[in-house]
């Protein structure tokens, strides 16, 4: 009886919000038929494929952005605009081509971000925990590095004369961005301060050092990770009194100072806060190093708008600098803290990170053209995150399911994790969340299995694509296929033969009318 009363009250409370469960127009079958026909007409326009050469390449990587995260972020985006949410379109939803990517590492069914980054940046599947090396390299074994290095699409683009950039909300030497430039058998070797002494003696280099030494003059680098660039125990410019933010380098090198000295005659700028970043004139900047935090950037919900740039703001500056190159550019953009939010069981943080990345995707679209820019949006892996519980249309994505458990007669949120820190037992029973603020920013959603950190999920992730050769991303593919498509579209790396043949064919077709006219004239004269 108590359960029935609670359910009735819950329904009355929801219905009393003063908004219908769905718009009245949706009751009319004509609404759905018209929408479907409009979508069909749009789809038919895609029969003419965009086979241009891609001048520019942009890869947006939502770390941990599995398909349930995409769906929940879509609903959140709509609800932030006071809509019910389900019918909303993310910017990535508007991309005409979608594929699925198989994310496993060579030695792991459920992947980590290092091995996956090697796949979607270097075109080679690899072992978990390793970046920029093949599967012949063994994690943490320094002597397996040499001879097993693999290069990334960022390097291929740089060698082809394009400008290149990395923008991330994590440390610039974190797993995803590091695979673009480093060759390291351990993703955790951020600086020599995190490396075993024997690995340093054996000649292995930390990831921060490789950022500045492996690919000379990366045009734009923005993110966090400041402390890994400075000598051990050197205080941080932003947090001078906090020891956890002090420099970590045992070799006493100041990598930022070295970069400044090397780049002093090249229109190069180092910035460490939003004010400095936005005060720059991109037209007079050729190289930019922006390190905005000692570690990762703060979650977007906790970001200081005065000192910390958003992902969208960083992307805007990056594109303005990179697009000055007449040969085009390659840009890697990582929404890296989606992953961190999920690991912490903080779904609200994770989903707001995803919405911010989607805004950056839309902004990049306004600054580029689908005629010459291939844009790809994907994830490295998924998470043990989901939502359900027969929630009604428009139910807040962070709210309760519309039913109680028929086992313990307690409410539960629509969002749940398969494992993670949200597992809690009180007096031998599942915690009653009705007394908690489950819509608070750092609420840890309940999980089925107790873990200090929630884990990745093993299912396929989506790949969204638009622009030249985007149609090559279709169906179900191995994750390492992605950079091969992007390189093919831009005629860089291994994929140049078709460009030369296309160029020859174009020259021939251009010459044919003149040749035909000449033959006609000869016939008339003869």
Using only C-alpha atoms, what is the Rg of the chain? 26
DSSP string covering 437-481: -TTSTT----EEEE-SS--EE-S-EEEEEESTTGGGS-EEEETTH
284 is catalytic: no
Sign of the alpha-carbon dihedral angle for 308, 355, 314, 296: positive
Q: 425-460: string of b/e by CB count within 10 Å (b at 16+)?
A: eeeeeeeebeeeebeeeebbbbbeeebeebbbbbeb
- Does the annotation list 484 as a binding residue? no
Instruction: Answer yes or no: is 381 a known binding residue.
Output: yes
Of the candidates 328, 369, 298, 351, which has an alpha carbon nearest to the alpha carbon of residue 70?
351
Cα–Cα distance measured from residue 326 to residue 308, given in angstroms and rounded to the nearest whole number: 31
340 in a known ligand binding site: no
Tell me how crowded residue 26 is: count the other CB atoms within 10 A of its CB.
Answer: 14
**Lookup result for tokens 């884990």:** 455
- Tokens 């060579």 locate to 106
Residue 151 annotated as binding site: no
CA 489/CA 501 separation, integer angstroms = 14
CA atoms within 13 A on the CB side of 332: 34
Say whether 176 counts as a known binding-site residue: yes
Burial class (CB in 10 A: 0-12, 13-18, 19+), 322: buried
Strand partners, 404: 411
Number of C-beta neighbours around residue 422 at 10 A: 24
- 177 vs 113: CA distance, rounded Å: 10
Residue in 112, 182, 103 with CA at minimum distance from that of residue 145: 182
Helix (H) or strand (E) holding 269: strand 268-271
HEC string for 164-201: EEEEEEEECCCHHHHCCCCCECCCCCCCHHHCCHHHHH
456 assigned to a ligand binding site = yes
Q: Give the dihedral sign, CA 388/393/398/404.
A: negative
Point out which residues pair with 268 in neighbouring strands: 287
339 is in an annotated binding site: yes
Tokens of 39: 């979508």
Query: Between the CA of residue 399 and those of 172, 368, 386, 403, 433, what are the distances in Å?
Result: 35, 38, 13, 12, 11
And the tokens for 55? Answer: 């001048």
Question: Known binder of ligand: residue 342?
Answer: no
Check 10, 29, 101, 113 and give the catalytic one.
Answer: 113
Report the C-alpha gap between 189 and 225 in whole angstroms.
Answer: 12
DSSP 118: H
Tokens of 361: 């995707």
Q: Is 63 annotated as a binding residue?
A: yes
- Binding site, annotated residues for Zn(2+): 63, 339, 343, 380-381, 456
> Would you please indicate which residues are annotated as catalytic (active-site) residues?
113
- Binding site, annotated residues for Mg(2+): 63, 174, 176, 334
């Amino acid at each position: 009886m108590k359960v029935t009363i609670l359910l009735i009250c819950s329904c009355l409370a929801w219905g009393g919000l003063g908004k219908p469960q769905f718009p009245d127009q949706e009751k009319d079958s004509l609404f759905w038929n018209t929408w479907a026909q409009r979508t069909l007409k749009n789809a038919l326009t895609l029969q003419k494929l965009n086979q241009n050469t891609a001048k520019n390449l942009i890869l947006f990587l939502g770390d941990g952005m599995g398909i349930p995260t995409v769906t929940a972020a879509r609903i959140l985006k709509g609800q932030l605009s006071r809509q019910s949410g389900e019918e909303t379109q993310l910017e990535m939803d508007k991309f005409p081509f979608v594929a699925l990517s198989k994310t496993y590492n060579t030695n792991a069914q459920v992947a980590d971000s290092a091995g996956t980054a090697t796949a979607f940046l270097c075109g080679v599947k690899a072992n978990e925990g390793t970046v920029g090396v093949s599967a012949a390299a063994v994690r943490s074994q320094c002597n397996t590095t040499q001879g097993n290095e693999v290069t990334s699409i960022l390097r291929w683009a740089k060698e082809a004369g394009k400008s290149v950039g990395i923008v991330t909300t994590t440390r610039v030497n974190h797993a995803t961005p590091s695979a673009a430039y480093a060759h390291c058998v351990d993703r955790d070797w951020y600086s020599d301060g995190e490396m075993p002494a024997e690995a340093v003696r054996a000649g292995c280099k930390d990831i921060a050092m490789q950022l500045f030494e492996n690919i000379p003059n990366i045009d734009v680098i923005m993110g966090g990770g400041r402390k890994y660039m400075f000598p051990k125990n050197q205080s941080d410019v932003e947090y001078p009194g906090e020891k956890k933010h002090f420099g970590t380098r045992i070799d006493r090198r100041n990598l930022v100072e070295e970069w400044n000295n090397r780049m002093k005659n090249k229109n190069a700028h180092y910035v460490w806060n939003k004010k400095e970043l936005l005060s720059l004139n991109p037209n007079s900047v050729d190289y930019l190093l922006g390190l905005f935090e000692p570690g990762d950037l703060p979650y977007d919900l906790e970001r200081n708008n005065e000192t910390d740039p958003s992902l969208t703001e960083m992307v805007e500056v990056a594109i303005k600098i990179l697009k000055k190159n007449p040969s085009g550019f390659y840009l890697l953009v990582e929404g890296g803290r989606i992953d961190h939010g999920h690991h912490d069981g903080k779904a609200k943080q994770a989903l707001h990170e995803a919405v911010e990345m989607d805004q950056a995707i839309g902004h990049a679209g306004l600054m580029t053209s689908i005629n010459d820019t291939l844009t790809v949006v994907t994830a490295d892996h998924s998470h043990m995150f989901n939502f359900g519980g027969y929630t009604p249309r428009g139910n807040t994505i962070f709210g309760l399911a519309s039913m109680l458990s028929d086992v313990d007669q307690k409410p539960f949120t629509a969002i749940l994790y398969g494992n993670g820190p949200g597992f809690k037992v009180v007096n031998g029973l599942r915690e009653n969340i009705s007394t908690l603020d489950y819509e608070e920013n750092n609420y840890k959603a309940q999980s089925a299995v107790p873990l200090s950190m929630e884990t990745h999920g093993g299912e396929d992730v989506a790949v969204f694509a638009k622009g030249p050769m985007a149609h090559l991303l279709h169906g179900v593919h191995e994750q390492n296929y992605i950079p091969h498509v992007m390189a093919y579209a831009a005629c860089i790396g291994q994929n140049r033969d078709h460009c030369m043949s296309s160029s020859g064919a174009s020259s021939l077709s251009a010459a044919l009318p003149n040749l035909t006219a000449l033959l006609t004239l000869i016939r008339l004269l003869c």
